[in-house]
Chains A and B, each alone.
Chain A
C-alpha cells in the first residue's frame, strides 16, 4: 500500500481511474514499478534456481532412515577380478521340453524358485520360425545388456547395472512409470499390475534386488540372473532344471561356463559354435549368447511345432489377488 501511495504522491498528474490505462499517464515517475517488476522476475528466477541442488537436499533429508540398497558385494575370481556373469543357451539342445512332454522346465523352475506371479515368465520360451520352414525354441531371459536401454531411461535409477554385468531392479525405489518396458527391445520386463497370487511363505522372504521376493504391486520385475545363487556356488534355477542341459552359466572373466554336467571355456565354446546375440544390430551388447539350432541334439524335428503352455502353481490366492494376461 505504501508503495502505491508513494507512486501517487510523486505522480500527481495521474488520476486514479485513468492511471490504469497505460496510454494516459505520460509523466516521469519513480522507479517503483521497475523495482516491482524486477523483484517479481527475481522471485521467478529464485524459484527455478534451487532445482539443481534440490535432489541433494532431498536426499540428505531422506537418507537418514532409508536402508542402504540391499545388494551383496560383487563375486571375484581367486586373483580378485570381478566375475562377469554370462549365459550361453545352446539352441541345438533345446526342444521346448517336447521330449518330456511338459511345460518348459526352465520356466517352471524359475517361477517356483522366485515365486514369480502369473503371468510372468522371466525366462520365456519363444518359438521362432526358421527360414526354410519349421521352428526353433528360444529360451529368453533378460539379456543383461552391457548397453542397457532400460537402465539408460530409468528416471530414478531403480534399475541399474552392477559391476558383475547384470541388470537389476530395486522394487523399493521403482515408481512404476514403465518407460523401461517401452525401452526394452526384448519384451523382458514385467509389471505388477495388481495384487498377484503368490504363496504366503513368499511374503516372509528377505527382499533384495537379486532376489525379488515378495512382489511389490505397481513395480517392474524381471530375470535377475541369480547372482546370489552363483556366489553361493549353485547354478540358477533354469540351468539346473533343463532336462537337455541346454543352458550354460558362467563367468567371462575366468572364461568358464557350465551346464551342470560339463565345464567349457566360454570363449572357445562361443567362437567354435558360431554363437550370436539377440538383435545384435541394436547395439545393446547382451550378456546372453545363443548357439544356433532347433533342438536336433535332443532329437527334435524342426517341423514339429508347439510346446506346452506354462503353468503357475500358485493356486491358493491371497485375498483380493488377481491374475492377468500379458
Chain B
C-alpha cells in the first residue's frame, strides 16, 4: 500500500503543480494571447463602425470566413463528448487521463464558436431579437437552442466528474493559496467528502449525463449542417449533410484534443499519465474517422457528380480544378489520406507523428468548412459572372483572435481547475494493479465508480 500511496501522492502533486507554480513563460503566453485578442477587438470595433463592408463578403457570397470558423469551432467542441462520453460508455479505461482536457475543449470551443455567429451579424445590437421574435421554423433558432443546450450540458458534464478533484484542491490548498481560490474551491466542491452516498450519487449523475450528452452533441452539429442543407443551394442540397458534419466534427475534435494534449503534457510534465499510448489510440480513432470522412465524401460527390444536375459541373470544376483546387486537394490528401498513413506506418506511430497528423487534420477541417461555405454560395443562381471572395485583414484578425481566445481560455482553465481527472486515474490505476486476473479482489467490491452500477 505504501507504493500505492506514494503513487497517489505523486499524481495529486502533478495535478496541483499548475496551480502552485506559475512561471514567467505562462504570463508571457497570456500577454501574447491577450495582445492577439486585443487586436481582434480593434478589428471588430472597425467592423462595428463601418459595417460588414470591411469584410470580403458581398451579396453573392454572403457568408465567409466567420461562418466557416463558427462551424469549425462547433466541430472542435465534439472532442469532449466523444472522448469522454463515448469512451466512458464503452468503458475504455485508457481514456481517464485525457477526459478532463477533452471536456475543457468542448466548453471553450462552444464559447468561441458561438461568438463567431454574433461577429457575423449585420446588426449585433439586435441579437436579442432572436429570443424576442424567435421562430421555431428557422434553422438559426435550432442552432441557438442546440448550442445553448449543449453548452449547459457540457458545462455540467465538465463540472460533475470534477467535483472530487475540486474537493481535493479545496483540502490540499486550504490556507496555502489566495483567498479567492480558497473560496472558489470551497464553493465548487459543494461539500464533497467522498462518502459512499456521495459517490453513488456522483456515479448516477455521470451515468445519466454521459448518455444524455451524446444525442445532444449529435443534434448540435446536425442542426449546424441544416443551416446550409435547408437552403436551395445545389452543393448543400444533401440529406447526408447532418451525418457528414457530425463525423467531421468528431474527426476535428480528436485532432484538436491531440494537439492540446501534446502542449499540456509538455507544459505541465504529464508524461507519466498522458503517454504515447494515448496519442496512438487517439490517432487510430482519428484514422477511423478519416475513413468515415472519405466514405462520406465519395458518397456525396458521386451522387451529385454522376447525374451532373444544374450547377454541379460548376461546383466540381471549382472544387477540383480552379478556384478551390489547391485547398480541396490538400483537404483530401493532407487531411483525410495522410492521417491514415501516419497512423499505419510504424515509424510515425508515436507522439510527433500523431501530433503532425492532428495538425494536418485541424488545418484541413477548417479548410473544409471554408470550402463548404464559400463554394456553395459561389455557384451562380442566375446568369451572372461568378462572384469571388477573399477574406480581408479584419476577418483574418478575427480568426486569429478567436484561436487566441480558445488558447487563452484553456490556459486559464489549466491554472484554476485540475487538468487531470485525479480520482478517475487513481481508480483506473488500482483496477490495473488488481489485475491481471479478471476476478476483482474483495477490497474493491464496494460501490466503485469506474465499473460500478450505472457506469
Task: Answer yes or no: B24 CB below 8 A from chain A CBs.
Answer: no
Q: Using Cβ atoms and an 8 Å threshold, which residues of chain B touch A191?
A: 52, 58-59, 62, 122
Given A21-B194, A22-B427, A326-B387, A183–B122 Cβ distance below 8 Å? Answer: no
Task: Answer yes or no: A154 CB below 8 A from chain B CBs.
Answer: yes
Contact A156 B164 (CB under 8 A): no
Task: Answer yes or no: B289 CB below 8 A from chain A CBs.
Answer: no
Shortest Cβ distance from B52 into A: residue:
A193
Contact B194 A30 (CB under 8 A): no
Task: Answer yes or no: A112 CB below 8 A from chain B CBs.
Answer: no
Contact B201 A182 (CB under 8 A): no
**Complex interface: stretch among B185-193, B254-262, B313-321:** B185-193
Additional A-B contacts beyond A23-B430, A154-B138, A178-B122 (14; CB < 8 A)? A7-B195, A23-B444, A28-B196, A29-B197, A30-B197, A33-B202, A48-B149, A51-B148, A54-B131, A59-B132, A176-B123, A177-B122, A185-B233, A324-B58
**Complex interface: stretch among A122-130, A224-232, A242-250, A290-298:** A122-130
Task: Answer yes or no: A73 CB below 8 A from chain B CBs.
Answer: no
Q: CB within 8 Å of A: which of B45-88?
A: 50-54, 57-60, 62-63
Contact A324 B201 (CB under 8 A): no
Given A153-B138, A155-B130, A29–B430 Cβ distance below 8 Å? Answer: no
Contact B123 A26 (CB under 8 A): no
Contact A175 B127 (CB under 8 A): yes
Shortest Cβ distance from B148 into A: residue:
A51
Contact A152 B195 (CB under 8 A): no
Bound CA span A155–B373, Å = 19
- On chain B, the number of residues with a Cβ less than 8 Å from chain A's Cβ atoms is 86
Bound CA span A25–B167, Å = 14
Smallest beta-carbon distance A117→chain B, Å: 12
Task: Answer yes or no: B423 CB below 8 A from chain A CBs.
Answer: yes
Task: Answer yes or no: A322 CB below 8 A from chain B CBs.
Answer: yes
Q: CB within 8 Å of B: which of A8-26?
A: 8, 10-11, 14, 16-17, 19-26
Q: Using Cβ atoms and an 8 Å threshold, which residues of chain A touch B307?
A: none
Contact A55 B133 (CB under 8 A): yes
0/1 interface trace, chain A 25-38, chain B, CB 8 Å (1 if under): 11111111110111
6 nearest A-B residue pairs (beta carbon): A176-B122, A33-B198, A194-B53, A29-B195, A218-B122, A155-B140
Contact B202 A155 (CB under 8 A): no
Bound CA span A23–B199, Å = 9
Contact A177 B121 (CB under 8 A): yes
Contact B195 A326 (CB under 8 A): no
Task: Answer yes or no: A40 CB below 8 A from chain B CBs.
Answer: yes
Q: Using Cβ atoms and an 8 Å threshold, which residues of chain A touch B190?
A: 36, 40
Bound CA span A138–B382, Å = 10
Bound CA span A40–B377, Å = 45
Q: Using Cβ atoms and an 8 Å threshold, which residues of chain B touch A156?
A: 126, 129-130, 132-135, 138
Contact A126 B382 (CB under 8 A): yes
Bound CA span A153–B229, Å = 11
Q: CB within 8 Å of A: which of B199-223?
A: 199-202, 204-205, 208
Smallest beta-carbon distance B380→chain A, Å: 8
A to B CB contacts below 8 Å, 15 in the list: A19-B193, A20-B194, A21-B422, A30-B197, A33-B192, A37-B204, A62-B132, A156-B135, A173-B126, A175-B127, A189-B59, A190-B59, A193-B52, A194-B53, A320-B50
Contact A187 B382 (CB under 8 A): yes
Question: B-contacting residues of A (Cβ < 8 Å)?
Answer: 1, 3-4, 7-8, 10-11, 14, 16-17, 19-34, 36-38, 40-41, 44, 47-48, 51, 54-55, 58-59, 62, 126-129, 138, 140, 149, 152-158, 173-179, 181-187, 189-195, 217-220, 282, 284, 320, 322, 324-326
Smallest beta-carbon distance A150→chain B, Å: 10
Bound CA span A28–B447, Å = 11
Q: CB within 8 Å of A: which of B104-153?
A: 117, 120-123, 126-135, 137-141, 144-145, 148-149, 152-153
Shortest Cβ distance from B129 into A: residue:
A156
Task: Answer yes or no: B300 CB below 8 A from chain A CBs.
Answer: no
Contact B205 A37 (CB under 8 A): yes
Task: Answer yes or no: B449 CB below 8 A from chain A CBs.
Answer: yes
Q: CB within 8 Å of A: which of B138-183?
A: 138-141, 144-145, 148-149, 152-153, 156, 159-160, 164-165, 167-168, 171-172
Task: Answer yes or no: B231 CB below 8 A from chain A CBs.
Answer: yes
Main secondary structure of the interface of B (DSSP, over half): helix
Task: Answer yes or no: B243 CB below 8 A from chain A CBs.
Answer: no
Q: Using Cβ atoms and an 8 Å threshold, which residues of chain B touch A194?
A: 50-54
Q: Using Cβ atoms and an 8 Å threshold, which residues of chain A touch B59?
A: 181, 187, 189-191, 326
Per a CB cutoff under 8 Å, which of A14, A55, A126, A179 touches B383? Answer: A126
Given A4-B191, A218-B123, A155–B134 Cβ distance below 8 Å? Answer: yes
Smallest beta-carbon distance B53→chain A, Å: 3
Contact A40 B51 (CB under 8 A): no
Shortest Cβ distance from A190 into B: residue:
B59
Task: Answer yes or no: B426 CB below 8 A from chain A CBs.
Answer: yes
Given A4-B193, A8-B193, A156-B129, A326–B122 Cβ distance below 8 Å? Answer: no
Smallest beta-carbon distance A154→chain B, Å: 6
Bound CA span A217–B137, Å = 26
Bound CA span A182–B193, Å = 54
Given A3-B191, A187-B381, A193-B58, A20–B167 Cβ distance below 8 Å? Answer: yes
Task: Answer yes or no: B303 CB below 8 A from chain A CBs.
Answer: no
Task: Answer yes or no: B279 CB below 8 A from chain A CBs.
Answer: no
Shortest Cβ distance from B227 into A: residue:
A179
Q: Which one of A193, A220, A282 has the highest number of Cβ atoms from chain B below 10 Å of its Cβ?
A: A193
Contact B383 A26 (CB under 8 A): no
Q: Using Cβ atoms and an 8 Å threshold, which residues of chain A touch B131?
A: 54-55, 58
Per a CB cutoff under 8 Å, which of B50, B204, B423 touches A22? Answer: B423
Per a CB cutoff under 8 Å, which of B63, B196, B205 touches A25? Answer: B196
Bound CA span A58–B132, Å = 5
Contact B384 A126 (CB under 8 A): yes
Bound CA span A219–B152, Å = 31
Given A17-B171, A187-B60, A324-B58, A195–B51 Cβ distance below 8 Å? Answer: yes
Bound CA span A153–B236, Å = 15
Bound CA span A55–B131, Å = 5
Q: Using Cβ atoms and an 8 Å threshold, which residues of chain A touch B140?
A: 153, 155, 177, 179
Per a CB cutoff under 8 Å, which of B53, B145, B382, B427 touches A193? Answer: B53
Q: Using Cβ atoms and an 8 Å threshold, which residues of chain A touch B126?
A: 156, 173-176
Contact A29 B196 (CB under 8 A): yes
Bound CA span A7–B191, Å = 8
Bound CA span A158–B63, Å = 19
